[in-house]
Amino acid sequence: MKQHDFETHYGPFWSEFSALLDQLDALRQRQPLPPLEQFAADYRRLCHQLALARQRGYSPRLVEQLNQLVLRGHRQLHRDRAPLLPRIGVFLAEEFPRAVRRQWRWQLAAALAFLIPLVAAWLAVWLSPSMAQMMLGSQADAIEMMYADREQLRSAGDDVMMFGYYIFNNISIAFRTFAGGVFFGIGALIVMVFNGGFFGAVSGHIVNANLTESFFTFVIAHGAPELTAIVLAGGAGLRLGLSLLAPGPLSRADAFRRAADDSLPIIWGAFALLLLAAFMEAFWSPRQFDPAIKYGVGALSWLSLYAYLLLAGRERTRE
Amino acid sequence: MQIDDRLALTTPEGATLTLLPAGPLPRMVAYGVDLVIRLMVFLCLLYVLSELAELGQGLLLILVFGLEWFYPVLFEVLWRGQTPGKRLLGLAVVQDNGAPVTYSSSLVRNLLRTADMFPGLYLAGFLCMISDRRFRRIGDLAAGTLVIHQPAVTATAPGASGAAELPPDWELDATDRLTLTAYLDRLPLLSSARQAELAAPLFPELSPLEAADRLAAQARFVRGQP
């Protein structure tokens, strides 16, 4: 069959199929579907025609036209349209804590990279207060000012502004930490060490300045999701970077891709935790209550978070 | 015939699909277009939300966060793999099996943009792209995605009907047929001087212009008349 006859014979079929694809491409969720009983069979016919066109040396224009049509059909056939809400539920109930436990080695390494500089800086500042100026520079006084006068009232507008700021700032840091891990984990490690050291130095400085209560009543509750999420992002970044250094039995490209796949639930989870942390930090932490209440809520926050990460989504052993 | 960087995929149905991965330059331009769009949206937001004092500042920061991290993700997933910039340049993001991108793979490729930007001006991403056969940057490698050209194809055959056709005077194989039909596709783009130049060595006994007519007629015979 010559190309022209081929085109005239199948042309109407192609434009029909193309119109159906246009309809499917423009489809929104919840709209009724056009009749699809023939779709798979038509798609297979199209694949066959593409193969014929190649085999018979038909012109590149025709082959490209069919190729695009098959590609569009392929995308419709293999698209992933699972509804989002139930997936989020399953993710939070099971996938996220499981992913964290699956990566416990990297997460532990990230936590240590965060905690060791934290403790070291805290001790250093606590033992010799002049270290604070060295480590924090001019920020030392600003931080002191911030917590010296917590009695001033904040307006609702301030709360929303801070909420926006915490989302913008903290979540961007978590995302960059993860991405920085690509460079053999170094980027993620730097963020862990730097943030741990900074937080330790601030804490030591606050203790020296006798502002312990106003500082810790502020940070304790939201600190649980916030610090945990940053460490989780760091751990995921380490996992990503070390897959390039030590790919194991896989090729580096495959190991890298698998590491990204493996870390992704942690990134979504860190994102969720940081949203929660931003909400708490903006709307709960600045409220003035009795320190006992604040510490109580803080303890509850840490306990429930770690109970969730360590226990949620475990398979029950069958009796 | 395969002298370009087309990528052949075999689908589960056994069909061979070809994808044309997009190189750094069109992607850079598409990124620039998106950057300008984001900047304009940002300026509009700044203008509108500055009326709202602190409340507006908070909303602004949240929206800036969204513009920075989720603008590409939402467009790529909800708009068939295209951000406005990519659409303008005829590019699209697909999974490396040709399927549409998912939220997860789009998030990975866009989060790792930070790594691609390192240490500045997308240097790491550029080096990664030009050393990969399919022009994937670090984010694409991690997410298993590709940026491809999505050419607009003309659906109707060009070429005038009623023109002369002549059976070729040699035995054709598939490559010959492909060469002749490809020549016919490109005929409207070639000047008559160039047609003559291409055809002259094939029919040394004819004048160049006659040779061009002969070649076109033989090609039309192979394709069949439109």
CB B224 to CB A4 under 8 A? yes
Report the gap between the CA of B99 and the closest CA in chain A (Å): 5
Percent of chain B's residues with pLDDT above 70: 93
- CB < 8 Å to A65, chain B: 153-155
Set of chain A residues whose Cβ sits within 8 Å of the Cβ of B68: 172
- Stretch B161-189: mean pLDDT: 83
Q: Do B175 and A60 touch (CB under 8 A)?
A: no
Which residue of B11, B73, B116 is the best one to mutate when testing the A interface, meaning the one whose CB has the most A CBs within 10 A?
Answer: B11
* B93 three-class SS: strand
> In this prediction, what percent of chain A has a pLDDT beyond 70?
95
Interface touch B68/A256, C-beta < 8 Å? no
pLDDT for B87 beyond 90: yes
Between A261 and B223, where is the model more confident? A261
Q: Does A161 contact B at CB distance below 8 Å?
A: yes
What pLDDT, on a 0 to 100 scale, did the predictor assign at position B153? 67
* pLDDT reported for residue B165: 79
pLDDT score of A186? 92
pLDDT at B26: 94
Residue-wise pLDDT for A11-38, tens only, equals: 899 999 999 988 888 877 677 788 888 8
Chain B residues near residue A262 by CB distance under 8 angstroms: none
Lowest mean pLDDT among A139-143, B6-10, B34-38: A139-143
pTM of the model: 0.85
Give the pLDDT confidence of A68-108 residue by residue, as tens digits.
Answer: 899 889 888 887 767 778 888 989 999 999 999 999 999 99
Disruptive mutation site among B4, B112, B117, B156 for chain A (greatest number of A CBs within 10 Å): B112
* Most B-contacting residue of A4, A50, A84, A154 (CB-CB within 10 A), to test interface: A4
The minimal CB distance from A178 to the residues B18, B98, B111 is found for B111
Mean pLDDT of B159-169: 71
Q: Which token pair is B13?
A: 């149905």
The answer to whether residue A28 neighbours chain B at the CB level (below 8 Å) is no
What count of CB pairs under 8 Å joins A to B?
A: 175
Model confidence at A189, pLDDT cuts 50, 70, 90, reads very high
Question: Measured between CB atoms, which of A44, A156, A165 is closest to B61?
Answer: A165
Say if residue A117's pLDDT is above 90.
yes
- Measured CA to CA, the distance from residue B7 to residue B5 in angstroms comes to 6
Q: What is the mean pLDDT of chain A?
A: 88
Q: Nearest-CA distance from A296 to chain B in Å?
A: 29
CB-based contact (8 Å) between A7 and chain B? yes
SS (H, E, C) chain A: CCHHHHHHHHHHHHHHHHHHHHHHHCCCCCCCCCCCCCHHHHHHHHHHHHHHHHHCCCCHHHHHHHHHHHHHHHHHHCCCCCCHHHHHHHHHHHHHHHHHHHCHHHHHHHHHHHHHHHHHHHHHHHHCCHHHHHHHCCHHHHHHHHHHCCCCCCCHHHHHHHHHHHHHHHHHHHHHHHHHCCCCCHHHHHHHHHHHHHHHHHHHHHHHCCCHHHHHHHHHHHHHHHHHHHHHHHHHHHHHHHHHHCCCCCCHHHHHHHHHHHHHHHHHHHHHHHHHHHHHHHHCCCCCCCHHHHHHHHHHHHHHHHHHHHHCCCCCCCC
Residue in B with minimal Cα distance to A155: B54
Q: Does A154 touch chain B (CB under 8 A)?
A: no
Mean pLDDT calculated for residue range A138-163: 74
Of B112, B174, B185, the CB nearest to A59: B185
Chain B residue at shortest CA distance from A179: B112
In this prediction, residue A153 carries a pLDDT of 55
**Minimal Cβ distance to B62: which of A15, A67, A167:** A167
In degrees, rounded to 5, the angle at the alpha carbon of residue A256 between the alpha carbons of residues B118 and B104 is 85
Residue A199 pLDDT > 60? yes
A183 to chain B: nearest residue by CA?
B115
Angstroms from B206 CA to nearest CA on chain A = 26
Chain A residue with minimal CA distance to B219? Answer: A59
In this prediction the ipTM stands at 0.85
pLDDT of B1 reads 47
CA distance B194 to chain A (A): 20
The confidence score (pLDDT) of residue A310 equals 92
